[in-house]
Amino acid sequence: MDKRAILSAFLEQIAGEIARATEAANRTRSDATHEEARPENDKDTRALETSYLARGQALRVVELEKAERQVRFMTLRDFGPDDGIDLSALVEIEADDGVITWYLLAPAAGGRSIAYEGVTIDLLTPEAPLGRALIGRMSGDDLELRVSGRERELAILRVL
């Protein structure tokens, strides 16, 4: 699998989120300052509430941009059979129910998924429970992890 292509697909996804969030923040800011948003009386807080929403949306854009930079400048490295899992590892895991899942370990922007060459790859951060459990482990290792209140057994099939 081509990690650069996978990383590019995740960056494209994040860029789209940034564009949509920026557009929403600009639209909300415009609504908050529009002439029709002026309060009709001392109890009318629509403009104030809209300005709070615009501020929150602008902060979300800043967070997304920061995450995008962290992922963009992550050093991609190749992992051999004796290398412990770390940032930029592409990991294939088989769960105890036989389901195989791929993860790309990244410093930020976890929780996103892309389709690549017929498989779904999830972006995972070291702060996530599974990410924490994977750090330092190697291909061939087994681990147990509590997921949704249930113990799951996972096998690390490959680390690229």
In sign, the C-alpha dihedral spanning 30, 32, 35, 37 is positive
CATH no., domain 90-159: 3.10.50.30
Read off the pLDDT of residues 130-144 as tens digits, 9 standing for 90 and up.
999 999 999 999 999
CB distance 100 to 93 below 8 Å: yes
Phi-psi region of 111 (alpha: psi -120 to 50; beta: other; left: phi over 0): left
pTM confidence score: 0.85
Sheet holding 142-147, edge to edge: 113-116, 119-124, 100-105, 90-95, 150-159, 142-147
Q: Break the chain into its structural domains and give their ranges.
A: 3-72, 90-159
Read off the pLDDT of residues 30-45 as tens digits, 9 standing for 90 and up.
776 666 656 566 665 6
